[in-house]
Structure 1
Amino acid sequence: MPVSDPASPTSDIRITSIAQLTRNGSWRLTGLHDRNEDLLLWVTKGQGLATLQGIRRGVGAHNAFYIPAGTLFSMDLGRTGFGIAVRIPHDPSLALVDTPLLLRVRDVHAQSELTGLLDNLQRELDHAAPYLEEAARAHVALLSVWMRRQALAIYGTEEPATTAGQRLVEAFCALVAREFRTGKTMADFAAMLGVTPTHLSRACREHTGMTAADVLTKRSLYEARLLIETTELPLKEISETLGFGSPAYFSRFVLQHTGTSPTDLRKAAAKLRKG
């Protein structure tokens, strides 16, 4: 079994505030997107709305969201919201929960227990002692146990029961996360799921407040902004990467949904980073 170098303690596991996830723009959290890392969000203040794998949820204090890599989600806590984010490189060997979870933690002991687990992980990361990575992974394993215990306490099972409509929307969102760069239309996704576009849109509207086409549009828009504002890739290349028919169509798409051209978005982002 490989052993890490104790002389160079590092860990890819990170703890930040939720606000830090919105650095360089609130859209980084409020926009519908997925990540290539697992994410645990512990909301301690504020109220708002979240969408988790296509299911719209209210957000309040003492809510914990577990968001596995590849899960479509968004969250808007408003200006007064606050919480902690644990960013965990996706690794099946960590034995984390493999489905999205919303845990509304009302038990004061359970709240304190999670706070203690997060404090212990933060101290480990700050101390950077030898074998940090092994220690950090052990702390994450304890967080996983806490989540599974809370799911059992709240839902009576590790995976909350869902309706047929919810399962359809979740399956659609999982497909969108994997396939949105291909240029497939909403009707293509409906065909892949074996339902009509009308039925898919009806289910999406019921559970997300958006049509299926809106879900696809918002995911594509997020990626467009991410590539425009955080890379130097030519706009033509971004257009091709996201499956747009032409750079002109891509520019119109971005302008229509943001009110700003891709070029101006890039300039504004560069100015924000320098300032």
Structure 2
Amino acid sequence: MSNSRAAAIPTFFLYGDEQQDVDLDALHVEPIRERSMRHDWTIHPHVHPDHTQILWFSDGGATFTIEGKTYEAAPNCFVVQPAGMVHDIRFHPGTEGRVITAAVSFVDAVAKDDPRLIEATRLPGAYPVETSAGRDAIRHAMEQLLFETNTLDPGRRMALRSHFLSVLVWLMRVSAGQAGAGPAHRGKDYDLVNRYRAVLERHFHTEKTLAFYADKLCISPQRLNAACKARAGRTASEVLYDRIIVEAKRCLLYTEMTVAEIGHAIGYDDPAYFNRFFSQRVGCPPGTFRKDAATTRRVGS
């Protein structure tokens, strides 16, 4: 796909919702009908630069086109739409099921002990679940995820991680070795951005220059920028800064570290500079974000 075409394709966190002001470190679960019915059961070509979608069909079905390859979904079927892949969907009217939209960083955090779970979310496909035990387990995990995303009960975050992990395990099992479910053409840009994100996870606490990451990937900074613009919709530096902000938000929401300690932990020894960096990208200082988070935060890892 050419860069000019990619630039014209809408990018969303959730289809039809503007991406701005959405926490990149998020897990969202909703019924398929909730969004698709509003759009007359047709989802036009778009891309989620930082989020993977996993759909479970309990009734009805859909035709997916992901990077030019067609996939058919039927009842008791998983569909995976990897982050950064252009896709459109034509649902059968009345289709029922669940849609998980998960940030790549959340998937990586939950699945980090088993690379097979991560790989299952990086390849597009439609995977029928043949066994009743598998179907029952997936339905239960999906319903619990939907319940937990709409409650503030104690232990919510760990429950979400547990049920999401169950979904990933079943997805890995049913996708492994299925004939005819081979990947769509991902392209060099897609693979390069995934490699960049993997290097980011290991080094973003200490390394803040694009030259460092380009050197690790054995490419030029210009090539890395071009790939990120084509597949993530923003520059490589912006991808790095977004990941740093996600980590800062996690610490603000889920630890008792001071703002200065958080800045130091993610590589900013000057508290004033960290405050400016955070404020420019979030719209408020870290302390204000922490105070307001009780009513505005989304699910982090």
CA change 1:245–1:118 in 2 (3 A) is same
Mapped contact 2:263–2:274 kept (Cα < 8 A):
yes
Q: In the alignment, what sits opposite 1:44?
A: 32
Counterpart code for 2:245: L
Determine the structure 2 residue equivalent to 1:147.
Answer: 175
Partner of 1:195, secondary structure, is coil
Counterpart residue type for residue 44 of structure 1: I
Structure 2 counterpart of 1:222, which letter? Answer: V
Pairing 1:162–2:183 present: no
Contact 1:201 1:211 in 2 (8 A): yes
Letter in 2 for 1:51: P
1:101 Cα shift? Answer: 2.9
Instruction: Work out which of the residue numbers 193, 213, 216 in structure 2 matches 1:189.
Output: 213
Contact 2:55–2:98, Cα closer than 8 Å, also in 1 = no
Q: Distance in 2 between matches of 1:238 and 1:105?
A: 41
| Cα offset, 1:190, TM superposition | 0.8
Q: Using the alignment, how far apart are the partners of 2:291 and 2:168 within structure 1?
A: 39
**CA separation in 2, counterparts of 1:60 and 1:142?**
13
| Residue of structure 2 in register with 1:240 after alignment | 264
SS state at 1:153 partner: coil
Q: Deviations over 1:47-70 (max 9, x none)?
A: 675235xxx878988574498xxx
The CA deviation at 1:266 is 1.2
The unaligned stretches of length 5 or more in structure 1 are 1-26, 73-80, 125-135
Identity %: 24
Q: Which amino acid aligns with 2:99?
A: G
1:154 counterpart SS class: coil
Partner of 2:10: none
In structure 1, the partner of 2:138 is: 118
Match of 1:9 in 2: none
TM-score computed with the length of structure 1 as normaliser = 0.58
Query: Which residue is equivalent to 2:293?
Result: 269
Residue 231 of structure 1 aligns with an amino acid whose one-letter code is T
2-structure distance, mates of 1:90, 1:261: 31
* Cα drift, residue 174 of structure 1: 0.6
Structure 1 residues 192 and 160, CA, compared in 2 at 3 Å: closer, same or farther?
same
Counterpart position of 1:101: 122
Question: Contact 1:186–1:212 (CA<8 Å) still a contact in 2?
Answer: yes
Aligned length: 212
Q: 2:237 aligns with which of 196, 213, 217?
A: 213
Q: Relative to 1, partners in 2 of residues 1:249 and 1:200: Cα closer, same or farther, differing over 3 Å?
A: same
Q: Which of 208-217 and 115-124 deviates more?
A: 115-124
2:285 partner letter = S
Letter in 2 for 1:119: R
Which stretches in structure 2 are left out of the alignment for 5+ residues? 1-18, 37-45, 58-77, 85-96, 145-162
Measure the CA separation in 2 of the matches of 1:210 and 1:167: 16
Whole-angstrom CA distance in 2 between matches of 1:144 and 1:59: 12
What's the CA shift for 1:224? 0.8
* 84 and 164 in structure 1: CA distance in 2 versus 1, 3 angstrom threshold: closer
Whole-angstrom distance in 1 between the partners of 2:133 and 2:32: 14
| 1:180–1:216 contact (8 Å) kept in structure 2 | yes
The two structures have a TM-score, normalised by structure 2, of 0.54
Q: Which amino acid aligns with 1:189?
A: Y
The aligned amino acid for 2:232 is: T
Q: Deviations over 1:133-191 (max 9, x none)?
A: xxx99997654321225x64332xxx555322222211111111221111331221111
Secondary structure of the corresponding residue to residue 209 of structure 1? coil
After superposition, what is the alpha-carbon deviation per residue over 1:177-229, rounded to whole angstroms, capped at 9, x for unaligned?
22111133122111111111111101110111111011001100111111112
> Cα gap change, 1:268/1:184 in structure 2, threshold over 3 Å: closer, same or farther?
same
* Amino acid across the alignment from 1:228: L
Q: Which amino acid aligns with 2:122?
A: L
Change in CA separation of 1:123 and 1:177 when aligned onto 2, cut-off 3 Å:
closer
Where 2:49 maps in the other structure, the secondary structure is strand
8 Å CA contact 1:32–1:215 kept in 2: the answer is no
In structure 2, the partner of 1:172 is 196
Check conservation: 2:141, 2:166, Cα contact below 8 A. Answer: no
Contact kept, 8 Å, 1:121 with 1:139, in 2: the verdict is yes
